[in-house]
């Protein structure tokens, strides 16, 4: 039974909650300097107000004024603007009847919005990259690339709005882009947006929501995890910062707090850099959990934005770089494969409308942030932009994928591996392995023998077949170690030398 004091405190708390719910305001991710999604999609606007009140939203710009009215239902108001072409600036005013309250947002632009998420390599700031001083000096030259960041928060329940904001909508500055290490604005996100702006020549809005050391399960909804046979659980994940240490995460806590509140936002697409935390946690489920997370985000954003965010919005991701030399047990080689749903490339039949930046050839054993955090984020971002230009924007004649094999044929004393495009190759040893197995099984590493690249041509390489009877040669694999190459020195690239062939496993035939 409640005491008088306890009852009074309860009433006070309830009054506070009700009062907060009825404060007239936009939701947390609207503000001055923001970017709203341009035509042909419609931007969704919403916020909080007094139930039953009428809210009128007015958009005014250099050449026109438009108004939209709605009603506050259960403390929330919401409206959808007409499609607006890229540009600005606009002024956006929301007015509420009954209280005669109004809010005006200024310097609003229309353009494309990209969501950036993942773990520490996405959270890595511009102030941490190898040439930070030069990069930060460029920030103010791109005022139409606007940035926003959700604060680090967890929740056991799906939140309607963000609990906190780390960086409100802002024009870029060196201070914002070079802020607190691993917890301020993302270098990969910024560099992606900057390169994209230079191509598109209209405003880009970058929404950053990532957290270092996090597994994919924390970013996934319970329904997504259920589809992969994963239960809601406590996850002990090896720390990327402290050797031998583990960090505890609950399933879905970042989906609840840092993705679900963003769902009403109309977006163009998303980019993702994560997987390190799953190298030794639910590794063998990642070929399900990652593609399913993409499907689930797409469905959720599409429905919550009144179908304005496409149901198949483009999704780019970074294939993992490197961590430890001479280590085949840290799980990176398997995660790289599983990131592609075991196809080895993207897009593919399982992961449509996706694009992948290969990062295996940009290792960094001198990074002050540890080898798991390479300082070269420029190549990663540029490769993502090539993918976005080709997949998201349909730009023709943009090469965004490195060479990938179509088949491998056993000849008399070598294997000929044929690729889907012209290659720039070098001879060498230690990059290829063949499965030498009398019983035709290849699960064990001791059945794989290193072989040399002995010849290469227009679209092929030949690898040797020593110490193995021809009848026992079953498969060939490439770059199947954590750290196979020196910096930009893998043996097979696109003909222009820019895009590396990704790791692969391929059956060997006799024809």
What is the reported pTM?
0.93
80 contacts 44 by C-beta, under 8 angstroms: yes
The CATH classification number of 110-392 equals 3.40.50.1110
**Residues 93, 32: Cα–Cα separation, whole Å:** 11
In Å, how far are 14, 17, 23 from 10, measured between CA atoms?
Answer: 6, 11, 20
Packing angle, helices 187-200 and 378-387, rounded to 10: 50
361: CB partners within 8 A, 6+ apart: 485, 487, 488, 489, 490, 500
Residue 467: predicted pLDDT: 82
Fold: same for 22-108 and 110-392: no
Q: State the CB neighbour count (10 A cutoff) for residue 168.
A: 15
242 contacts 87 by C-beta, under 8 angstroms: no
**Residues 143, 354: Cα–Cα separation, whole Å:** 28
- Phi first, then psi, for residue 280 (nearest 5°) are -130, 20
Residue 246: predicted pLDDT: 76
**Residues 24, 167: Cα–Cα separation, whole Å:** 22
217 contacts 252 by C-beta, under 8 angstroms: yes
Q: State the CB neighbour count (10 A cutoff) for residue 90.
A: 21
Q: Which two tokens stand for residue 323?
A: 């961590």
pLDDT in tens, the chain (511 residues): 444 444 344 434 433 444 444 699 999 999 999 999 999 999 999 999 999 999 999 999 877 788 899 999 999 999 999 999 999 999 999 999 988 899 999 999 999 999 999 999 999 999 999 999 999 999 999 999 999 999 999 999 999 999 999 999 999 999 999 988 988 999 999 999 999 999 999 999 999 999 999 999 999 999 999 999 998 777 788 776 666 667 889 999 999 999 999 999 999 999 999 999 999 899 999 999 999 999 999 999 999 999 999 999 999 999 999 998 876 678 999 999 999 999 999 999 999 999 999 999 999 999 999 999 999 999 999 999 999 999 999 999 999 999 999 999 999 889 999 999 999 999 888 899 999 988 889 988 889 999 999 999 999 999 999 888 988 999 999 999 999 999 999 999 999 999 999 999 999 998 6
pLDDT digits (tens, 9 = 90+) for 373-413: 999 999 999 999 999 999 999 999 999 999 999 999 999 88
Got the DSSP string for 246-265? Answer: EEEEETTHHIIIIIGGGTTS
- DSSP code, position 344: S
In CATH, the architecture of 22-108 is Sandwich (2.60)
Which runs of consecutive H residues, i.e. helices, occur in 85-125?
Answer: 120-123
Positive or negative torsion for Cα 415, 420, 425, 429? negative
**Residues 279, 35: Cα–Cα separation, whole Å:** 36
**Residues 318, 188: Cα–Cα separation, whole Å:** 10
Spell out a b/e string for 366-382, using b for 16 or more CB atoms within 10 Å of the CB, else e. Answer: ebebebbbbbbbbbbbe
Residue 308: predicted pLDDT: 98
DSSP tally for the chain: helices H, then strands E = 10, 25
In Å, how far are 32, 35, 316, 390, 476 from 192, measured between CA atoms?
Answer: 23, 16, 11, 14, 34
Q: Which residue from 421, 419, 504 is spatially nearest to 462, judged by alpha carbons?
A: 419
**Residues 285, 270: Cα–Cα separation, whole Å:** 22
- List the chain domain ranges: 22-108, 110-392, 405-509
- Phi first, then psi, for residue 258 (nearest 5°) are -125, -5
């Amino acid at each position: 039974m409640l005491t008088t004091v306890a009852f009074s405190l309860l009433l006070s708390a309830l009054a506070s909650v009700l009062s907060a719910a009825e404060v007239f305001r936009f939701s947390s991710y609207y503000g001055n300097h923001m970017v709203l999604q341009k035509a042909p999609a419609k931007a969704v606007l919403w916020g909080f107000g007094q139930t039953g009140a009428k809210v009128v939203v007015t958009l005014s710009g250099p050449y026109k004024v438009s108004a939209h009215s709605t009603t506050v239902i259960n403390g929330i108001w919401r409206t959808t603007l007409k499609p607006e072409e890229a540009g600005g600036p606009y002024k956006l005013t929301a007015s509420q009847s009954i209280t005669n309250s109004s809010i005006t947002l200024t310097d609003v632009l229309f353009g494309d919005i990209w969501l950036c998420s993942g773990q520490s390599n996405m959270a890595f700031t511009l102030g941490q990259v190898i040439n930070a001083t030069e990069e930060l000096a460029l920030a103010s030259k791109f005022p139409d690339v606007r940035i926003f960041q959700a604060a680090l928060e967890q929740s056991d329940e799906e939140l309607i709005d963000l609990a906190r904001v780390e960086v409100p909508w802002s024009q870029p500055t060196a201070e914002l882009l070079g802020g607190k290490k691993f917890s301020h604005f993302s270098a990969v996100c910024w560099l992606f947006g900057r390169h994209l702006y230079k191509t598109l020549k209209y405003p880009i809005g970058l929404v950053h929501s990532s957290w270092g050391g996090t597994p994919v399960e924390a970013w996934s909804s319970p329904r997504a995890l259920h589809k992969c046979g994963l239960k809601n659980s406590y996850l002990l994940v090896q720390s990327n910062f402290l050797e031998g240490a583990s960090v505890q995460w609950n399933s879905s806590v970042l989906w609840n707090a840092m993705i679900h509140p963003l769902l009403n936002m109309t977006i163009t697409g998303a980019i993702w850099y994560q997987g390190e935390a799953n190298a030794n946690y639910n590794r063998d489920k990642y070929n399900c959990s990652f593609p399913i997370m993409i499907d689930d985000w797409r469905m959720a954003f599409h429905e919550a934005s009144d179908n304005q965010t496409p149901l198949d919005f483009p999704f780019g991701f970074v294939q993992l770089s490197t961590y430890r030399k001479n280590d085949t047990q840290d799980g990176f080689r398997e995660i790289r494969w599983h990131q592609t749903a075991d196809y080895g490339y993207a897009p593919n039949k399982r992961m449509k409308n996706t694009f992948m930046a290969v990062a295996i050839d940009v290792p960094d054993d001198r990074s002050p942030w540890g080898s798991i955090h390479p300082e070269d984020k420029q190549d990663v971002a540029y490769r993502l932009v090539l993918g976005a230009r080709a997949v998201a924007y349909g730009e023709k004649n943009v090469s965004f994928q490195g060479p990938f094999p179509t088949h491998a044929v056993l000849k008399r004393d070598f294997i000929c591996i044929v690729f889907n495009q012209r290659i720039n190759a070098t001879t060498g040893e230690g990059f290829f392995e063949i499965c030498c197995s009398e019983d035709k099984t290849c699960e064990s590493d001791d059945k794989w023998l290193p072989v040399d690249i002995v010849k290469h041509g227009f679209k092929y390489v030949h690898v040797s077949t020593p110490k193995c009877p021809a009848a026992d040669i079953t498969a060939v694999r490439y770059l199947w170690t954590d750290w196979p190459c020196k910096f930009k020195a893998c043996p097979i690239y696109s003909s222009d030398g820019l895009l590396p062939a990704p790791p692969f496993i391929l059956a060997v035939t006799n024809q």
